Structures are given as C-alpha cells and as structure tokens.
Amino acid sequence: MRIRFSKTYPLALLAVAACATAPAASAVTAAGGVASAPAPTIHKVALATWFGPGFYGQTTACGQTLTPSVVGVANRTLPCGTLVRFGYKGHAVTVPVIDRGPYAHNGAQWDLTLEAAHALGMADTARIHTRIVGSVPNTRTLGLPPGAPAVTATGGAAATT
C-alpha cells in the first residue's frame, strides 16, 4: 500500500509544530534562555510556599546566587532549568527551576522565590495551578531579569572569571 501526501500535509505539520512550541518559546525569552525540546505538559493543582530574605546571598542547588530580583522556583525532582507556568487568582508567571525544595513539612510541592510569589499575588502558602512548559539551559544568571547587572548575579560580590 502506498501513501500519497499532498503538499499541504507537511505545511500543516510545520504549523502545528510551531503552534505547539510557541508558548515555550515565549516563556524561554522571558526567562532569558535558549529553548530545548519541550517537556511533557502536566496540569496540576499543588500546594506552594515561598522563600527569600533569609536566603539572599546563598547559592541555590542549581548554582545561582539568590537575590531579591531572582524569579524562580524550587522543586525536589525537576531538573534545573525546567520552565513551569504557575497560575493563581488570575495572575500567571513562567519561571525556571533554580533550587531544590521545599523543605517545609506541610506537603508543599513548590517553593517560589519571593519575587515569583509577588508576581502571582501570593502572600502565604496557597494552592496554585501548575504546568510544565519546557526547559532552558541552566546558567548562573538563570532567573535574573533581562539586563540585570553582573553584581546581581554574584550577590553583590565581585565576579571572578
């Protein structure tokens, strides 16, 4: 049996592929990274906490220096650089995994940085919507806003090369 393809079939496949990766590509741009193969999409409602001021200046498990401007999330099992989209009370934010945790014994699966929690309007532990949307390479500046100065990436210390 021979299968015949019309010229529109490959174009339709390209269009579907482009649409399927468009959200991840825009999330990648927002996170300042380069896209890799998209991760499977998983929709869940999960318990989330947030962390910040007591940890500023410390290095995350993924190698970033935590500062007030870092936007990211800690998860026990996802690889560093996994992009996760969170939704809470009409707000949404896509952030990379930058650390391991949470370590609170309240059943939370996510630990957002203070800046990520602020972007969602989250002030306390809450149930939030989650979706894995892709991944970016892990770098020391992952989670920093675009154009952040190098001193922010090193927590205020002089950068060494």
Domain ranges within the chain, ordered by starting residue: 8-153
- Where does residue 51 fall: left (phi above 0), alpha (psi -120 to 50 degrees), or beta otherwise? beta
One digit per residue, pLDDT tens: the chain, 161 residues? Answer: 444 433 333 333 333 333 333 444 444 444 444 444 444 556 699 999 999 999 999 999 999 999 999 999 999 999 999 999 999 999 999 999 999 999 889 999 999 999 999 999 999 999 999 999 999 999 999 999 887 765 445 455 444 44
- The C-alpha angle with vertex 134 and arms to 129 and 137, in degrees rounded to 5, equals 130
CATH 3.40.50.1980 fits 8-153, yes or no: no
Question: Is 96 in contact with 83 (CB distance < 8 Å)?
Answer: yes
